[in-house]
Chains A and B, each alone.
Chain A
Amino acid sequence: MSNIKLRKVDVIFSPYSVAPYEILKNAMKRSKDEVVQELIDSGLRGRGGAGFPTGLKWKFAKQQESDQKYVICNADEGEPGTFKDRKLLVEVPRKVISGMAICAWAVGASKGYIYLRREYRYLVSHIEEELELYHKFAKEAGLDFKIEIFMGAGAYICGEETALIESMEGRRGEPRNKPPFPIKNGYLGKPTVVNNVETFASATMVCRMGADEYKKLGTDDQRGSKLFSISGDSPKKGVHELELGMSLEDFANEFGDGDTKAVQVGGVAGFCIPKKQFKTTIIGEGNTTGGSTMIFNSTRSMYNVLHNYLDFFAEESCGQCTPCRVGTQQLLKGIEAVKSKKKPPEYLDQLVKLAETMRLTSKCGLGQSVTNSFSSIVKNFREEMIY
């Protein structure tokens, strides 16, 4: 584990440096394999949470034989504490769209969608303006790739890529079994690349800077820069772009209010890290990389925090598999029972076991990750759960 000093950088939000779609145009002058290799060399990983290497995903998609492929930009951004994708779409939509187009050109896709969460409907006209410019450019450049916005309808689980695809096909957003992965069998059964908004914007920056330059940012394990959505007890709430690889201690010193007791890293699907572990925690290593960081100071009741999370999970579980549907409700009732002394404190250990079972038996990332925040809060703030 290596870490570096906290450093603010200005890559993803840097101003447009060139004429519209110049980076795309330049990419199209190279060979497709070369561009995909550049992405692989950059070390860029998905910014939607799961952290899969982006270049590899594109390479697999390129290898698929199919009459039709799709590229989907995941703008469902529903993880509590995350708002960086919204800011990207407001401030630098061109970088996002360029990334989609570079991907489509490289893997051979002719149709793209931006799956926009319903809560962000007010962004539609703004994004459409940029799409108009893009389509004009694509026509001139002879690039056969059209992009449309697909509106979500309000469901956190639709951020999960196979649920997203189900929803685009007109069904309930219930995750599918994986494999097959969307790159093989995605939208309408065709090879489909699904990437996060920030991933596409970062891919554009890799093409602009070159892999070597991009790789200089971050550590061996985590390359590049990353957007952090910071909320909670912080005097500097907002989106901050930071080089990857800093310790949580530096982070809390910079963004906390001086009285930080815990930081939730990676949204409610991530981990709640107590102060005593700040020094040894590197943001993004072993915790999810979506960039949601919620800061809690000593006035906050961690019982209330956990209760709020569990309420969220119980509500947003798609209900398809029993461990997650029943488990989320049992955990919620369980902590209430301990708090009201209807159950002894030891009951918490049983609940932790239940959460662990959910990790092993749930079908998708929602049910599997409940234990992350549940166990980290119950273990580190046990007294607060009881008294």
Chain B
Amino acid sequence: MAEVKELVKELVDKYGRERKNLLPVLQGIHLETNYLSKEAMLEVAKQMDLSAAEIYGTASFYSFLDTKADGKYKIRVCKSITCEMAGKSEIIRTLEDMLKVKVGETTEGKRFSLLETNCLGLCDQGPAMLINEEFYTQLTPAKVRKILGEYIRNKY
């Protein structure tokens, strides 16, 4: 709790207390804590002098401001049309098998959240996905196993 309070204060000092800085503040929290907890949103409400409902209403509008999926690595697989045509379902199946979770769920230990998303702007190289900020294209089940294997081995 104390930590969240500090973090919010730091961000509010950096960006400013006005409403127009709400998104940068929420994104700053998200980057540090992997999602927006209820405590964090309440703290923002207090420090930016807004109602908690306003904060939640705003945050829940945006798909990259997670209020539930709290995995450290968020895997977002594109489900828009050309990626679907290129074989997105197989990619999802492979990921579900490896992670033992369904789309929308987070693995035990909160390492990975598996999500679907709309067009990532990589349609000429589909199927495509993001893992946090990194993008991966022209996916095949074998390629996904390799990529994810590396995350599992090295990156946490």
* Chain A positions near chain B (C-beta within 8 angstroms): 77-83, 85-86, 117-122, 150-156, 167-173, 188, 229-233, 237-239, 264, 268, 294, 300, 304-305, 308-309, 311-312, 315-316, 318
Determine whether B80 belongs to the interface, using a CB cutoff of 8 Å to chain A.
Answer: yes
Q: How far is the CB of A172 from chain B (nearest CB, A)?
A: 4
Whether A80 contacts B62 by the Cβ 8 Å rule is no
Whether A83 contacts B63 by the Cβ 8 Å rule is no
Nearest neighbor of B19 in chain A, beta-carbon distance: A170
Whether B84 contacts A119 by the Cβ 8 Å rule is no
Whether B58 contacts A294 by the Cβ 8 Å rule is no
Determine whether B21 belongs to the interface, using a CB cutoff of 8 Å to chain A.
Answer: yes
Whether B20 contacts A118 by the Cβ 8 Å rule is no
**Which 3 pairs show the lowest CB-CB distances between chains A and B?**
A170-B22, A154-B64, A153-B62
Determine whether B103 belongs to the interface, using a CB cutoff of 8 Å to chain A.
Answer: no
Nearest neighbor of B61 in chain A, beta-carbon distance: A172
Whether B82 contacts A81 by the Cβ 8 Å rule is yes
A-B contact pairs, 6 of them (CB 8 A): A82-B123, A153-B63, A170-B18, A173-B62, A237-B124, A311-B79
Q: How far is the CB of A85 from chain B (nearest CB, A)?
A: 8
Q: How far is the CB of A344 from chain B (nearest CB, A)?
A: 27
Whether B81 contacts A82 by the Cβ 8 Å rule is no
- Complex Cα distance, B81 from A305, in Å, reads 7
Q: Given that A153-B26, A155-B63 are contacting pairs, would A172 and B57 also be in contact in the complex, using a CB cutoff of 8 Å?
A: yes
Whether A80 contacts B123 by the Cβ 8 Å rule is yes
Nearest neighbor of A319 in chain B, beta-carbon distance: B61
Q: How far is the CB of B78 from chain A (nearest CB, A)?
A: 9
Q: Which of B3-11, B93-101, B128-136, B142-150 contacts A (4 or more CB under 8 A)?
A: B128-136
Chain B contact residues (Cβ within 8 angstroms of A): what range? 35 or more
* Chain B positions near chain A (C-beta within 8 angstroms): 18-24, 26-27, 57-58, 61-65, 79-82, 84-85, 117-126, 130, 133-135
Q: Which residues of A contact B121 (CB under 8 A)?
A: 77-78, 82-83, 85-86, 117, 119-120
- Complex Cα distance, B82 from A312, in Å, reads 13
Whether B23 contacts A151 by the Cβ 8 Å rule is yes
Q: Which residues of B contact A172 (CB under 8 A)?
A: 57-58, 61
Q: Given that A81-B123, A308-B81 are contacting pairs, would A151 and B118 also be in contact in the complex, using a CB cutoff of 8 Å?
A: no
Nearest neighbor of B26 in chain A, beta-carbon distance: A153
Q: Which residues of A contact B81 (CB under 8 A)?
A: 80-81, 232, 264, 268, 294, 305, 308-309, 312
Whether A232 contacts B120 by the Cβ 8 Å rule is no
Q: How far is the CB of B38 from chain A (nearest CB, A)?
A: 18
Whether A153 contacts B27 by the Cβ 8 Å rule is yes
Q: Which residues of A contact B23 (CB under 8 A)?
A: 150-151, 153, 167-168, 170
Whether A154 contacts B65 by the Cβ 8 Å rule is yes
Whether B20 contacts A294 by the Cβ 8 Å rule is no
Contacting B85 at CB < 8 Å: which of A150, A154, A233?
Answer: A233
Nearest neighbor of B130 in chain A, beta-carbon distance: A119
Q: Given that A83-B122, A153-B65 are contacting pairs, would A168 and B57 also be in contact in the complex, using a CB cutoff of 8 Å?
A: no
Q: Which residues of B contact A152 (CB under 8 A)?
A: 62, 64
Q: Which residues of B contact A264 (CB under 8 A)?
A: 81
Whether B26 contacts A231 by the Cβ 8 Å rule is no
- Complex Cα distance, B58 from A237, in Å, reads 37
Whether A230 contacts B64 by the Cβ 8 Å rule is no
Whether A170 contacts B85 by the Cβ 8 Å rule is no
- Complex Cα distance, B84 from A233, in Å, reads 12
Nearest neighbor of B120 in chain A, beta-carbon distance: A119
Whether B134 contacts A122 by the Cβ 8 Å rule is yes
Q: Which residues of B contact A318 (CB under 8 A)?
A: 61
Q: Which residues of A contact B26 (CB under 8 A)?
A: 153
Whether A121 contacts B133 by the Cβ 8 Å rule is yes
Whether A294 contacts B133 by the Cβ 8 Å rule is no
